[in-house]
């Protein structure tokens, strides 16, 4: 797996032993490099680094993608949430899961196939 760098703009300034790299005589604290990261959608080595990024770029990012300027509303048109459960009394393994769509406003339930459950683009929601 390819290695990638933490996107935290101050990563190299958080002084930990694992960040010290380089040959004797020219060692320095360096940006962490890993095959995967736990934070910020696999972009940051720590919450500190994620917060550093937001403190530096967050306002620009919000302005770029559109600042929320009025309240959004949860209605029956956008309250569908995917969920799964086991048929009553059966807790034996994931092959017996039943996948469902649940409307958080009306409480209506509709059956889902496993494929629909895993398909991130499949939705019953018609609003944001």
By CB under 5 A, name the binding residues for Zn ion: 6, 8, 11, 32, 45, 49
Nearest CB to Zn ion, comparing residues 40 and 101? 40
Name the residue nearer to Zn ion (CB basis): 8 or 112. 8
Comparing CB distances to Zn ion, the nearer of 9 and 124 is 9
Six-digit token string for 8? 């935290």
Tell me the torsion sign for CA atoms 73, 75, 80, 81.
positive
Least distance CB 8 / Zn ion (angstroms)? 4
Cα first-last separation, the chain: 36
Q: Smaller CB distance to Zn ion: residue 10 or 77?
A: 10
Contacts for 14 with CB less than 8 Å, ≥ 6 apart: 8, 29, 46, 48, 49
Shortest Cβ 48–Zn ion spacing (Å): 7
Long-range contacts of 89-93 (CB under 8 A, 24+ apart): none
CB of 70 to Zn ion, least distance (A): 35
Q: How many CA atoms lie within 13 A of 64 on its CB side?
A: 5
Smallest distance, Zn ion to C-beta of residue 67, A: 27
| Residue 34 three-state SS | strand
């Amino acid at each position: 797996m390819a290695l990638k760098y933490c996107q935290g703009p101050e990563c190299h300034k958080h002084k930990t032993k694992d960040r010290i790299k380089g040959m004797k005589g020219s060692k320095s604290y360096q940006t962490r490099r890993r095959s995967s990261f736990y934070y910020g959608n696999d972009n940051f080595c720590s919450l500190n680094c994620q917060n550093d990024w937001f403190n530096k770029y967050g306002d620009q990012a919000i302005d770029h993608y559109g600042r929320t300027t009025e309240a959004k509303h949860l209605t029956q048109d956008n309250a569908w949430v995917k969920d799964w459960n086991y048929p009553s009394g059966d807790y034996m393994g994931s092959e017996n899961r039943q996948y469902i769509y649940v409307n958080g406003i009306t409480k209506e339930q509709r059956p889902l196939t496993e494929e629909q459950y895993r398909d991130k683009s499949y939705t019953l929601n018609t609003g944001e």
